[in-house]
Structure formats: C-alpha cells, structure tokens
Amino acid sequence: MSNRASDSEPTADSDPRAIDTLLAVVARLRDPEHGCPWDLKQTPCTIVPYTLEEAYEVAEAIANDDMAEFCEELGDLLFQIVLYARMAQERGAFDFGDVVSAIARKMIRRHPHVFGEARLADDQAVREHWESIKAAERAGKGEQPRARVLDGVARALPALVRAEKLQKRAARVGFDWDDLGGVADKVREELAECEATFPASVDPAERLHEVGDLLFSCVNLARHLGVDAEQALRVANERFEHRFGHVESQLRDAGLEPAPEHRDAMERLWTQVKADER
C-alpha cells in the first residue's frame, strides 16, 4: 500500500478541485474522535446500496441530458469510491492511490492498440483482444480458466442486465435464435404458459417460474432488436410516471382523487393523455 498525505485537515483554503481535498474530507468524516457518527458506522457492505443508487442517478442524469445534474451525481459516485478506499486503508489493505494506479495500469495494458504497437481492425477485434488479455491476467494470478461458458457473470447485477449478459455469453458459442421470428414466437409461448397459471389453484412457485421465463424471453427479444432491456424499462417507467401524473392532475382539476371508484374516469384520461402525446 502506498503512503499518502491524505489525512491533513481540510480548510477553507483547500483547493476544492484537488482530489487531496476530497481525500482529506473523507478522512475527517472517518476520524474516530472527531468524525461523523453515521460515516463511522458504515462498512463496505452497508454502503453498497447507496453506491448502486448513485450509479443509477448518474444514468438518469445522462438520460435527461442534464449536465449540471450529471456533474453532481458523478461527484456523489466518486465520494462512494473514496469512502470505500478509505475503509480499506484503515484495514491496511490499499488506499485511493492504489486504486488509481491499478486502473491506470490496467487500461494501458488492455489497450495495446492505443498505448503499444498492436493493430486491431475494428471494435469486434478490440473486444476479442480484450477478452484474451483478461484470460491471460487470470492465468497470471494463478486463477483457473472459466470451466463453464456462463461463469463470471456477477450475480449482484440487476436482473435484466444479468439476463442480457448470460444470453450474450451463450450466443458467443452459437446457442441463440437465428432470427427475430423465433424470438417473438418464444415470447408468445412463454406468455401462454403464464396464462396457464392464472387459476388460483396453481402453485405460486410455478407462477413465479413462468413469469420469470416470460421476462427472460422479453430480454432476448430486446437484445435481438438491439435494445438495452434495462434502459427500455427505465424509459417505460418514466413514461408511465409522466402519464399518470397528468391523469392525477386532471382528475383533481375535476374535484376528484385517484381511487378505485374513479377507475373509468382515470382510464378515459389515460387514453386522452396518450392521444395528446401522439
């Protein structure tokens, strides 16, 4: 682990653009005597949910093309990384400088066509070379080569993202649909199997499995259409929220509140909102 003078007290004169200022801020937050009680209680495990939330907020700022928000959310995400590094430094494992050094070396090593003499024809060749370099790195660490095609796809990924990655891994070895028609047929087949679980007497576990199969087949359809399934669902969520907000506003303009007894009115307004969008 490298030694860094990152524990100096941040002051009003500290350069807010310098990474050392942020390192000093986090060090103070984690100071056993003068730090923040909340920050001192945290561990890498406890802040994982916040890290995932910050990553999604970065994605939302990008989708909204909001540069001010994008800048702020990147800062929030960077804070998470510095906090992780500080916790590791406290355990004598590594520090922020080691994190920066490791990623810089890795990117240089994995881009020999940029920083070396290698010549790669296109992005497909780059991806293939990247995978071969990763395999060599694993071998250099004494790790065994992946025994199975789907090994190494992180289980902590969002389900839609992980489904797409699993499908892409299988597709690399030829286990894939030949055309969109076959994928669409599979979606219809899975929908029919879901419909077969509608009776109340059906085992809930079976219903769970059939809904999962339907969602998995929808991810397959999105992949074959060149659509990011996670992004598509985020957009659908935003569209639903926007439309329902209009329904709610118009309902209240009429002196009504969203409620089951006003379902017909809500459906009429929903249809109108969609028509106005078109």
Q: Can you give the pLDDT at residue 94?
A: 97
- Tell me 2's DSSP state: -
Report how far apart the first and last C-alpha atoms of the chain are (Å, whole number): 59
Q: Average pLDDT over the chain, rounded to whole?
A: 90
Non-local CB neighbours of 29 within 8 Å, separated by 6+ positions? 35, 36, 39, 40, 83
Give the mean model confidence (pLDDT) for residues 229-240.
92
Q: Can you give the pLDDT at residue 12?
A: 58
List pLDDT tens digits, range 193-226.
999 999 999 999 999 999 999 999 999 999 999 9
Domain spanning 19-109: CATH superfamily: MazG-like (1.10.287.1080)
List pLDDT tens digits, range 108-138.
988 988 888 888 888 888 888 888 888 788 7
Angstrom distances, CA of residue 133 to CA of 83, 185, 213? 30, 38, 34
Contacts of 131-134 with C-beta under 8 Å, sequence gap 24+, read 133/109, 134/110
Task: Please tell me the pTM assigned to this model.
Answer: 0.66
Q: How far apart are CA 185 and CA 206, in angstroms?
A: 21
Q: Name the band, by pLDDT with cuts 50, 70 and 90, for residue 4.
A: very low
Residue ranges covered by each domain of the chain: 19-109, 159-227, 232-277
Tell me the fold of 159-227: Helix Hairpins (1.10.287)
Non-local CB neighbours of 22 within 8 Å, separated by 6+ positions? 78, 79, 82
List pLDDT tens digits, range 245-267.
999 999 999 999 999 999 999 99
Quote the tokens at residue 163. Answer: 């489904």
Domain 19-109 matches domain 159-227 at the CATH topology level: yes
Residue 2: pLDDT over 90: no
Q: How far apart are CA 31 and CA 40, in angstroms?
A: 8
Kindly tell me the burial class for residue 18, based on how many C-beta atoms sit within 10 Å of its own C-beta (0-12, 13-18, 19 or more). exposed
Give the range among 36-45, 126-135, 148-157 with minimum mean pLDDT.
126-135
